[in-house]
Structure formats: structure tokens, C-alpha cells
Amino acid sequence: MSALRILVPVKRVIDYAVKPRVNKAQTGVETAGVKHSMNPFDELSVEESVRIREKKRAPGGVEDICVISAGPTKAADVLRTAMAMGADRGIHVDVKEGEDLEPLSVAKLLKATVDKEKSNLVILGKQSIDDDAAQTGQMLAGLLGWPQATQASQVTFGEGDTIEVTKEVDGGVETVKAKLPMIITTDLRLNEPRYASLPNIMKAKKKPLVKLSLSDLGVANERRLKVLKVTEPPPRQGGGKVEDVDGLISKLKELGAI
């Protein structure tokens, strides 16, 4: 049985509870002075990795949980959070503010990391809540030629390095089985991420955090998509309220909805 060497990519994004505002120049969303946190799906990935170790779910055990993030200096914050949740160490790939990587570049960067760190399981979030692309995990699986299980709601380990994953699909769930190495992307129902306790936050400060550049991993920030503009969606006008059920029915009839 192989011991697990888990790689968990995490992304620093605008906090999910913040309503993003488009900037005046219409080049993007206002990020300065806005609360950021770890992408919610990445919290699920970290939590799952830590639980696999704590509950001794993998027959071969867990040798290493490494978190990685590519982004500006502040991306280190989400790595510390992940380490406070239980990850062993972090890799921060320094990318200048405003020079965000496209998913394909992230996938290439992760492939290089997987090779370097000898990871055999990569757990990613199913999508990041900023660009909503939902691509990176699948792209990485394609580049590595590994099996992939996307939108996982349950992960079970079996004999002979097998992993059975239940995935959320349209209309229900589907279960697939594959052998390590493997890529898993997480869905909401997988688990409930823990809060990092204060002692663990303190301990996380002492855990190793390596800083790398894109060139250290042999990856260029090659942009294939040019953002021409970013605009606010057309606002919806609330149509006011009605007094009772009869009012609701007649208004819906008037609007041609029933």
C-alpha cells in the first residue's frame, strides 16, 4: 500500500459573503481593501485531507499534506490558514498582484509540483468562486493522464490503492473507482470544514512555507484569454409587494407567468 502524499491547491479569493463591485475602468472587480479568504471549496479539500489522516481512512496512511497557492504575497495567509487546519507545509508560488494565472497555467504549475513532490493524490475545489471556471482539476488530470473524480461528495479507500468516489452529477450521484494516483475535486456535501483554533494558528506559523517563483517550476504566465471588459449585470427592478394570495395570483396573471 502506498502512503498518501496529498497535494492541496488553495486559492485566495474575495470572501464569499462580499458583494463584488466592478471597478470604474471596467477592467475587473474592485479588490483593494476588500475582505479575502480561502475559496470555500478549497477549505473542503483541506478538511478532507486532514480527516483522511485523522480517521486513518487510507490503509497506507498519510505521509504528507502539502498545500500550495499561486498569488500575491497575501496568498501566504490562506496557506497559513490551511496549515492551521492541519496541513503539514505550504508552497507559495509568488505571482504579482493583478497577474492572475489562467486555469491552464495553474494546471501546468501543479503538474510540475506533483512531479517534484511525488504527490499521488491531488484534492482541489470544484471551482473558485471568483472566475467560476471549474477547470483546474480536470486540466491537471488531463496533463498527468490520471483518473479524475469531480464534484466529490464521498471518498472511500479500499484495498490495493483503490479509491471509490461518489460524485454529484445532474439529477443525483454517480460512483467511480480508480487506483492511485488520482485527482479529486470537492463538492459542498463532502464535509464541513473546521475552524482553525488559536493554538493551531500559532503552531501553523512554525510550519515550513517555501516561496517559489513560476520560473522555479518552469512555467510561464501565458495568457490566452484577454479580458476586454468587465461590466455590472443589468440591474433587476423589484416590482413591489402585494397584500395577499389573490393579489399574487392576479399579478402573476398580469405578468403572463401563469
Partner 1 sequence: MLFPTARRTALRGVGALPRSTSVFSSPFNNPSALRRLLSSLAVLEQREGKLNHGSLSAITAAKKLGGSIHGFVAGSNIKPVAEEAAKVEGVEKIIAVDNAAYDKGLPENYAPLLVENIKKNGYTHIIAGHTAFGKSLLPRVAALLDSQQISDITVIENENTFVRPIYAGNAIATVESSDPIKVITIRGTAFPAAEAQGGSAAVEEGVDPNVQISVEWVSEDLAKSDRPDLATAGKVVSGGRGLKSKEEFDKVMLPLADSLGAAVGASRAAVDSGYADNSLQVGQTGKVVAPQLYMAVGISGAIQHLAGMKDSKVIAAINKDAEAPIFQVADVGLVGDLFDKVPELTEKLKSS
- Window 126-145: residues binding partner 1 (CB under 8 A): 126-127, 129-143
Q: For the window 201-230, what string marks contact with partner 1 as x by the rule CB under 8 A?
A: -----------------------xxxxxxx
User: In this chain, which of 2, 15, 63, 176 binds partner 1, going by CB under 8 A?
Assistant: 176
User: Which of the ranges 42-50, 75-83, 86-94, 237-245 carries the binding residues for partner 1, by CB under 8 A?
Assistant: 237-245
How big is the site for partner 1, counted in residues (CB under 8 A)? 79
Q: Least distance in Å: CB of 202 to partner 1?
A: 31
Distance CA 23, CA 1 (A): 52
Closest CA to 69 of 22, 12, 128, 151: 12
Residue 106 DSSP code:
H
Q: Least distance in Å: CB of 85 to partner 1?
A: 20
Q: Least distance in Å: CB of 228 to partner 1?
A: 4
Task: For residue 20, say if its preceding peptide bond is cis, omega within 30 degrees of 0.
Answer: no
Kindly state the greatest CA–CA separation across the chain: 67
Residue type, 50: V
Distance CA 116, CA 108 (A): 12
Q: Which is nearer to partner 1, 35 or 226 (CB)?
A: 226
Q: Least distance in Å: CB of 184 to partner 1?
A: 12
Is residue 12 within the footprint of partner 1 (CB under 8 A)? Answer: no
Q: Which is nearer to partner 1, 160 or 199 (CB)?
A: 160
Q: Least distance in Å: CB of 168 to partner 1?
A: 6
**What are residue 185's DSSP bridge partners?**
124
Burial of residue 113 (number of CB atoms within 10 Å: 0-12, 13-18, 19+): buried
Is residue 151 within the footprint of partner 1 (CB under 8 A)? Answer: yes
Is residue 159 within the footprint of partner 1 (CB under 8 A)? Answer: no
Q: For the window 13-52, what string marks contact with partner 1 as x by the rule CB under 8 A?
A: -x-x--xx-x------x-----------x-----------
- 154's CB contacts (< 8 A; 6+ apart) are 165, 166, 190
Is residue 231 within the footprint of partner 1 (CB under 8 A)? Answer: yes
Q: Least distance in Å: CB of 245 to partner 1?
A: 5
**How crowded is the C-beta side of 102, counted as CA atoms within 13 Å?**
9
Containing 114, the helix (H) or strand (E) segment is helix 103-117
Is residue 241 within the footprint of partner 1 (CB under 8 A)? Answer: yes
84-113 residues in contact with partner 1 (CB under 8 A) are 102-104, 107
- The DSSP-derived string for 56-100 is T-STT-EEEEEEEEEESTTHHHHHHHHHHHT--EEEEEE--TT-P
Q: Which is nearer to partner 1, 210 or 227 (CB)?
A: 227
Residue type, 120: N
181-200 residues in contact with partner 1 (CB under 8 A) are 187-189
